[in-house]
Structures are given as structure tokens and as C-alpha cells.
Chains A and B, each alone.
Chain A
Amino acid sequence: MLYVTTDQKLMTQSEFVNLVMPFKDKLFRLAKRLLVSTEEAEDATQEVLMKLWDKKKGIHGYRNVEAFAMTMTKNFCLDRLKSKQSGNLKLVHSNYADERSSLQKEVEVHDSVEWVGKIMENLPEQQKLVLQLRDIEEYEYDEISEMLDMKPTAVRVALSRARKAVRDQLIEKHSYGIQ
């Protein structure tokens, strides 16, 4: 967790880097969870950090910069996904491409550990986010509900559904003997 003092002095580049480096990878992993492509996730991380740098004068105003940056990343990625889907022609095309690549991936995924990642890819966005933040980044429930602007009970409900979905699909695979 990262708290910033209310010191009003101007932030230097190295101070900013020191502030941001501890959670840069978390932003990247969250972006990759939503956008899938590594390249797009790097783009999103860069965009969010540059926006944050532009805001550095007001950065002291945020109690928890890390949570704020995670929320920015989530919003940025969801916007990207939305604008991708809004192109109709593209949607038809990418659906077609997706089906092919998922079939291809299914052949490639021999390892059941990798299979968990594939299962997560197909979860609803909210469940994906909650599972990422809790089981991979190990945030507290309060932090997650702040980042996602959800009630703590809603976070637990989504998390429970996500974990069960992963378990059920994993066990289904396991019983088919795909290892």
C-alpha cells in the first residue's frame, strides 16, 4: 500500500519514478488481464503512467495513488475494449479470428496451469478483475472495493463466483484427463 504525504513541494521525475515503480507491474498485469495482448497492455500502462505524471501537481491530493492508478488502468482498458467492439466490421472479423485462435490455443495448452489462464480469459469482466486483484495481486477487500467502486459484499459475491467458475472448469478438464 502506498500513501503520499500532503507535502506540497513539486515532485521531481525521480520521486515520481520511486512512487510509481512499486506498482507499475501491477498496472501492466491488470491491463494484460483485460486486453490479453502484451503489446496493448504495455501501451495502456504507459498511457496511465503518463497521465499520472501530467497530474503530478495534484498527486498529493490522492490518499492512495496506487489504488487510483489501478482504477485508471481498469477504466482505460474497458474503454479500449468498448471502442474495439464498436467497429461493426471489425467485430465480425475478430469473432472469426478469435474462434480460430482459441481452437489453436486449446491444442497448444497441454499444461493445466496454463489452462487456468485460459479459463480466466473467458470470465465476465468483473469476475476477471476481482480474481486478478485478490488472488494474483493479493489486495485487501477494502482496497478492491475502492478500486472497482463496488460494495464489499458485491466484491465477495463476484470473487466467489469467479473462483468457483475456475474450479468447475478445471475439474471438468481434469476429469477428461488433459494434463
Chain B
Amino acid sequence: MESNRIEQLLEKYFEAHTTEAEERDLRKYFSGDQVAEHLEPYRPMFAYFSEAKQERSVRQVPLKTRRHLYQWISVAAMVVLVAGVYFGKQYQERKEAEYAYLQTKKALGLLAANLDRGKEKVAYLHEFEETKQKIYKNN
């Protein structure tokens, strides 16, 4: 009497009208050892479906993502950039101070040279005084 119900279910099954519960019943019936002889040809079908469901993927999926790597690269780039700006500024300030020192030195040197020249010219005043004295004496 069970095989009668199974026949009906099979008919529905091949028209794709069975519910999940009915299909579970079919799988259960065909996995048992009470399969009627005339239904035996259907057994491998259901046996295969159950067997195929046991297959497993064995490979581990590496999840070290590209996105995480990008994050670290951007952090590293940021550090380099900040350090570059900081040390660059320091270097620039030193160079500027050096330049200012040199310029000041040059200016002072120029001043000293001109002062010397001025002093040389002032020496001629002495000549003038001497001549003046000579004239006074002669009178």
C-alpha cells in the first residue's frame, strides 16, 4: 500500500509538482531497504542526489584582502609625507638662516671696505692742513 502512495508521489515529482515535504518522503523511501521491486529503477536517482550533497570543498580561502593592504600602504605613505614635510621644513629653515648669515656677512664686509676707502680719502684732509700751516707760517 505504501508503494501505491510512492507511485503517486513519483508522478507528481516528474511533473515538478511535489512539495519539499513530499520530496523528503520520496528520498526517505528510496534510501530505505523496503523499495518495491518495480520501483527499484528509480532508486539510483535519489541515491545519487543524497550522495552528491555530501561533497565538500576542501580548500581554505585566503582572506588577506587587498583592501587591508591598501590601508597599510596609505598609512605608510602618510607617515613618509608628514616626516618629509617636517624634516624638509627644518632643512629649509637652516638653509635660510645660512643664507641670511652669508648675506649679512657680505653686507658688513662691503661696509668695512667702503669705510676703509672713506678713511683713505679722509687722510688727504691731513695734507690740506699741512699746506694750510705752511701758508700761515710763511705769512
A residues engaging B (CB < 8 A)? 13, 16-17, 24-25, 27-29, 32, 41-42, 45-46, 49-50, 53-54, 111-117, 135-138, 140, 155-157, 159-160, 163-164, 166-167, 170-171, 174
Check if A24 sits within 8 Å of B57, measured CB to CB: yes
Check if B57 sits within 8 Å of A25, measured CB to CB: yes
Check if A136 sits within 8 Å of B59, measured CB to CB: no
Q: A53-B65, A54-B67, A113-B47 are in contact. Are A29 and B14 (CB under 8 A)?
A: no
Q: A113-B47, A136-B52 are in contact. Are A163 and B41 (CB under 8 A)?
A: no
Check if B45 sits within 8 Å of A29, measured CB to CB: no
* Total number of residue pairs linking A and B with CB closer than 8 Å: 83
Q: A16-B63, A138-B20, A170-B41 are in contact. Are A42 and B57 (CB under 8 A)?
A: yes
Most buried by A among B13, B45, B62: B45
Check if B53 sits within 8 Å of A167, measured CB to CB: no
Check if B55 sits within 8 Å of A171, measured CB to CB: no
Min Cβ gap B93→A in Å is 42
B residues engaging A (CB < 8 A)? 13-17, 20, 23, 41-42, 44-45, 47-49, 51-53, 55-59, 61-63, 65-67
Q: A156-B16, A160-B15 are in contact. Are A117 and B55 (CB under 8 A)?
A: no
Chain A residues contacting B59 (CB-CB under 8 Å) are: 42, 45-46
Check if A28 sits within 8 Å of B52, measured CB to CB: no
Chain A residues contacting B66 (CB-CB under 8 Å) are: 54
Q: Which of A25, A50, A116 contacts B48 (CB 8 A)?
A: A116
Give the distance in Å from the alpha carbon of A170 to the alpha carbon of B41 in the complex: 7
Q: A42-B59, A136-B49, A174-B41 are in contact. Are A54 and B14 (CB under 8 A)?
A: no
Check if A45 sits within 8 Å of B63, measured CB to CB: no
Q: Which of A28, A135, A137, A171 contacts B57 (CB 8 A)?
A: A28
Check if A115 sits within 8 Å of B44, measured CB to CB: yes
Min Cβ gap B8→A in Å is 16
